[in-house]
């Protein structure tokens, strides 16, 4: 054993701890903006639209939900730190080549579920990842996501996470979700049902449902 090993341990460990702290601060910004959206809606629109609720629900330090109309957005911060793969486009940028430690990031994922999935405890329903935010030691962020989220300008070298950028990401996620409609499932996939499934439906409306059957992080055919 020697000093170089200890120094490597300390350097890498401190880097990841710094990124974790910045990501946790970003998660707190998302929570504040989501709560502000709930408050704004309640003051200005809720009385006239009681059947279209908006509700912020803080679950844990690493998770919260934003419920609106028939949808739920789940924001989930991963507790680990990741590095972009060597084939990712950001690895070829001068920003990363100048300092490879900038390629290490914390991650906040955004999932879309149907509100009824939680309301009726439909544990077989599917969620859908609509985006994820990757944040590095400089507080710079990179977004991967669907439609409106993907349209947020990605410039990893200059995009700095702050309250305004968090508001924009949150707005894009809500906009995408509102426009992301529930499709009629394929007839051939749903024409047969077991007695057990029918009994469960009678008990708790427990038929598997999702906006898109399947859980893939890629461009949908209907988005082409």
pLDDT digits (tens, 9 = 90+) for 177-204: 998 776 666 666 666 766 676 666 666 5
Query: Does residue 211 have a pLDDT over 60?
Result: no
pLDDT of amino acid 218: 38
Q: Number of folded domains in the chain?
A: 1
Report the DSSP beta bridge partners of residue 107.
134
Indicate the pairing of strand 54-60 with strand 104-114: unpaired
What crossing angle do the helices spanning 3-44 and 163-179 adopt, rounded to 10°?
A: 60
pLDDT of amino acid 124: 77
Reported as type and span, the H/E element at residue 145 is strand 141-145
Query: Range of 136's domain?
Result: 3-223
**pLDDT band (50, 70, 90) for residue 214:** very low
pLDDT in tens, 127-158: 889 999 999 999 999 998 866 565 556 789 99
Query: Does residue 163 have a pLDDT over 80?
Result: yes
Reported as type and span, the H/E element at residue 63 is strand 63-68
Using an 8 Å Cβ cutoff, are 113 and 208 in contact? no
Q: Considering only the C-alpha atoms of the chain, give the largest distance between any 2 of them, rounded to a whole number of Å.
A: 70
Using an 8 Å Cβ cutoff, are 169 and 198 in contact? no
CA angle 107, 100, 76 (to 5 degrees): 0
Q: Whole-prediction pTM value?
A: 0.83
Question: How far is CA 120 from its chain centroid?
Answer: 23
> Once rounded to an integer, what is the mean pLDDT over residues 96-111?
97
Question: How far is CA 98 from its chain centroid?
Answer: 29
The total number of residues shown for the chain amounts to: 224
**Hey, what are 166's tokens?**
């968090």
**pLDDT band (50, 70, 90) for residue 120:** confident
DSSP helix, strand, coil percent of the chain (3-state; round to 5): 45, 20, 35
Computed over every residue of the chain, the mean pLDDT equals: 85
> Once rounded to an integer, what is the mean pLDDT over residues 200-211?
58
Query: Does residue 174 have a pLDDT over 80?
Result: yes
**pLDDT band (50, 70, 90) for residue 219:** very low
Q: Rounded to whole angstroms, what are the CA distances from 179 to 76, 114, 123, 155, 223?
A: 22, 13, 24, 26, 12
H helices of 130-194, in order, are 147-150, 163-179, 187-190
Query: Does residue 223 have a pLDDT over 50?
Result: no
């Amino acid at each position: 054993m020697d000093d170089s090993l200890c120094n490597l341990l300390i350097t890498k460990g401190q880097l990841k701890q710094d990124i974790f702290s910045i990501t946790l601060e970003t998660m707190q910004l998302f929570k504040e903006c989501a709560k502000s959206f709930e408050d704004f809606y309640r003051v200005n629109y809720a009385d006239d639209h009681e059947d279209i609720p908006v509700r912020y629900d803080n679950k844990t330090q690493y998770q919260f939900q934003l419920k609106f109309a028939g949808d739920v957005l789940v924001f989930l911060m991963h507790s680990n730190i990741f590095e972009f793969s060597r084939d990712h486009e950001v690895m070829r940028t001068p920003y990363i080549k100048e300092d490879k430690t900038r390629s290490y990031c914390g991650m906040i994922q955004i999932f879309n579920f149907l509100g009824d999935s939680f309301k009726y405890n439909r544990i077989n329903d599917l969620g859908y990842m609509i985006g994820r935010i990757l944040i590095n030691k400089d507080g710079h962020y990179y977004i991967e996501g669907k439609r409106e989220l993907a349209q947020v300008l990605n410039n990893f070298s200059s995009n700095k996470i702050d309250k305004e950028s968090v508001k924009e990401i949150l707005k894009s996620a809500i906009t995408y979700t509102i426009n992301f409609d529930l499709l009629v499932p394929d007839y051939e996939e749903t024409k047969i049902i077991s007695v057990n499934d029918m009994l469960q439906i009678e008990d708790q409306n427990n038929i598997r449902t999702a906006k898109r059957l399947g859980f893939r992080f890629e461009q949908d055919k209907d988005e082409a």
